Structure 1
Amino acid sequence: MSIIICPGIHELALTESFISGWSSLFTDSSIGKKTLDMVVFPCEGFLALSSLHILQFLRDRLRDKLGSPVVFISFSAGVVGAIMAAWQWQLLGGHVKAFIAIDGWGMPLWGNFPIHRLSHDYFTHWSSALLGGGHNNFYAEPSVDHLSMWRSPQTVQGWWVDPSVDVSQTPVRLSAAEFLHSLVKRYDEK
Structure 2
Amino acid sequence: MSIIICPGIHEPELTENFISAWREVVVDNLSFSNPVNILIFPAESFSALSAFHILHFLHQHLGDRLKSPVIFICFSAGVVGAIAAACSWQMLGGRVKAFIAIDGWGVPLWGNFPIHRMSHDYFTHWSSKILGSGENNFYADPAVDHLEMWRSPQTVQGWRVDLSGGESPSQQRLSASEFLYQLLVRYKEN
TM-score by length of 2: 0.95
Aligned-pair Cα RMSD in Å: 1.3
SS at match of 1:97: strand
Give the match for residue 133 of structure 1. Answer: 133
Q: C-alpha offsets along residues 34-72 of structure 1, whole Å, 9 cap, x if unaligned?
A: 543110000101000000000001000001421100000
The Cα offsets for residues 67-100 of structure 1, whole Å up to 9 and x where unpaired, read as: 1000001000000000000011011110001100
Provide the residue aligned with 1:2 in structure 2: 2
Identity of aligned residues (%): 66
Secondary structure in 2 aligned to 1:174? strand
Return the alpha-carbon distance in structure 2 between the equivalents of residues 141 and 5 of structure 1. 24
2:68 maps to 68
Structure 1 unaligned regions, length at least 5: none
Residues of 2 paired with 1:65 and 1:189: CA distance? 18
Following the alignment from structure 2 to structure 1, what is the Cα–Cα distance between the partners of residues 157 and 139? 8
Q: Is residue 157 of structure 2 the alignment partner of residue 163 of structure 1? A: no
Q: Distance in 2 between matches of 1:170 and 1:113?
A: 22
- The equivalent residue for 1:174 is 174
Letter of the 1:17 partner, please give it.
N
The answer to whether the aligner puts 1:48 opposite 2:48 as a matched pair is yes
Q: Taking structure 1 as the reference length, what is the TM-score of the superposition?
A: 0.95
User: Is the CA contact (8 Å cut-off) linking 1:31 and 1:185 kept in structure 2?
Assistant: no
Any residues of structure 2 matched to 1:104-123 within 5 Å, and which? 104-123=104-123
Going from structure 1 to structure 2, the CA distance change for 1:115 and 1:169 (only over 3 Å counts) comes to: closer
8 A Cα contact 1:6 1:72, kept in partner: yes
* Residue type at the aligned position of 2:119: S
Q: Which residue of 1 aligns with 2:58?
A: 58
CA–CA separation in structure 1 for the residues paired with 2:168 and 2:114? 23
Alignment deviations for residues 129-177 of structure 1 (CA, whole Å, 9 cap, x no partner): 1110111000000000000000000000000001232555541110001
Structure 2 gaps of 5+ residues are: none
Alignment map for 1:8-23 (pairs within 5 Å): 8-23=8-23
Contact 2:32–2:188 (Cα < 8 Å) also in 1: no
**CA shift for structure 1 position 184:** 1.2
